Amino acid sequence: MQNIEQLNSKHGMTTSSRFKKFFTAIIIVILIICATPNLYPNKNLIQVQASANNVLVVSVPELKNNLENEGFKVKKVISHQGGYLVELENRALTAEARAHIAALHNELNVKVISASTMPLWLEYTGLKPIKLGLDLDGGVLFVLKVDVEQAMLSQLQSVADEANSIRINNRYRHLSSPQVVNAQEVEIVATVQGKTELQALSTTLRDRYPHLSSNRKAHGSLTTLTLSFPEAKKIELHKQLMTQALSTLRSRIEELGITEAVTQRQGDNYIRIELPGVQDPDQAKRIIGATAKLSFHALQTAGGQRIKDKLGNVINIDPTAIFGGDEIESATAGRDEYGKPLVELFLSSSGGKKINHFSRQNVGKPMATVFAQYYVSTSGETKKHTEVISVATIQQVLNTRFSITNMQSMERAQELALLLRAGSLDAPITIVKEQTIGPSLGEKNIESGFKALALGLSITLLFMALWYRKLGVIAIISLLVNLVCLIGLMSLLPGVVLTLPGIAGLVLTIGMAVDTNVIIFERVRELRSKGATMVIALKQGYQQAMSSIVDANLTTMITALILLGIGYGPVKGFAITLALGIVTSIFAGVIVSGLLSESLYSQQRQGGK
**Number of domains within the chain:** 4
How far is Cα 552 from Cα 555, in angstroms, rounded to an integer? 6
DSSP string, 336-374: -TTS-EEEEEEE-HHHHHHHHHHHHH-TTSEEEEEEEEE
Average pLDDT value for residue range 131-146: 80
Mean residue pLDDT across the chain: 79
Q: In terms of domains, do 104 and 212 share one? A: no
Q: In terms of domains, do 166 and 250 share one? A: no
Q: What percentage of the chain carries pLDDT values higher than 90? A: 0
DSSP letter, residue 36: G
How far is Cα 310 from Cα 544, in angstroms, rounded to an integer? 79
Which of 435, 452, 483 lies at the terminal end of a domain, its last residue? Answer: 435
Q: In terms of domains, do 269 and 381 share one? A: yes
E strand map for 395-547: 401-404, 429-437, 497-498
Domain that holds residue 68: 43-115
How far is Cα 226 from Cα 179, in angstroms, rounded to an integer? 10
How far is Cα 501 from Cα 508, in angstroms, rounded to an integer? 10
pLDDT at 459 over 70: yes
Average pLDDT value for residue range 179-196: 85
Q: In terms of domains, do 372 and 514 share one? A: no
Q: In terms of domains, do 373 and 251 share one? A: yes
Q: Comparing C-alpha atoms, which of 309, 269, 250 is closest to residue 151?
A: 269
In a domain, 539, yes or no: yes
Q: What percentage of the chain carries pLDDT values higher than 70? A: 86
Q: In terms of domains, do 254 and 210 share one? A: no
Per-residue pLDDT tens over the stretch 87-131: 888 777 777 787 788 777 777 777 777 777 888 888 888 888 887
Q: In terms of domains, do 460 and 600 share one? A: yes
CB-CB neighbours of 427 under 10 Å: 24
pLDDT at 176 over 80: yes
Q: Which residue has the higher pLDDT, 436 or 272?
A: 272
State residue 377's pLDDT score. 63
Average pLDDT value for residue range 138-151: 82
State residue 292's pLDDT score. 64
Which of 382, 405, 435 lies at the terminal end of a domain, its last residue? Answer: 435
State residue 405's pLDDT score. 73
State residue 2's pLDDT score. 45
Q: In terms of domains, do 376 and 490 share one? A: no
Q: What is the 3-state secondary structure (H, E, C) of 152-177?
A: HHHHHHHHHHHHHHHHHHCCCCCECC
Asked if residue 365 lies in contact with residue 396, where contact means CB atoms within 8 angstroms, the answer is no
Q: In terms of domains, do 220 and 356 share one? A: no
Q: Can you tell me whether residue 229 is helix, strand or coil?
A: coil
Give the largest Cα separation in the chain, rounded: 110
| Strand-pair partners of 144 | 271, 431
Sheet strands side by side (includes 401-404): 328-335, 341-347, 401-404
Q: Can you tell me whether residue 281 is helix, strand or coil?
A: helix
* Alpha helices (H) along 36-147: 60-69, 94-104, 120-123, 134-137
Q: In terms of domains, do 469 and 414 share one? A: no
Q: Cα–Cα distances in Å, from 119 out to 39, 43, 125, 259, 307?
A: 11, 14, 11, 21, 58
Q: In terms of domains, do 168 and 253 share one? A: no
Average pLDDT value for residue range 225-235: 85
Q: Can you tell me whether residue 110 is helix, strand or coil?
A: strand
Which of 385, 417, 435 lies at the terminal end of a domain, its last residue? Answer: 435
Asked if residue 574 lies in contact with residue 501, where contact means CB atoms within 8 angstroms, the answer is yes
How far is Cα 228 from Cα 572, in angstroms, rounded to an integer? 40
Q: Which helix H or strand E contains 83, and what residues bound it? A: strand 83-88
Q: In terms of domains, do 217 and 245 share one? A: no
Asked if residue 131 lies in contact with residue 261, where contact means CB atoms within 8 angstroms, the answer is no
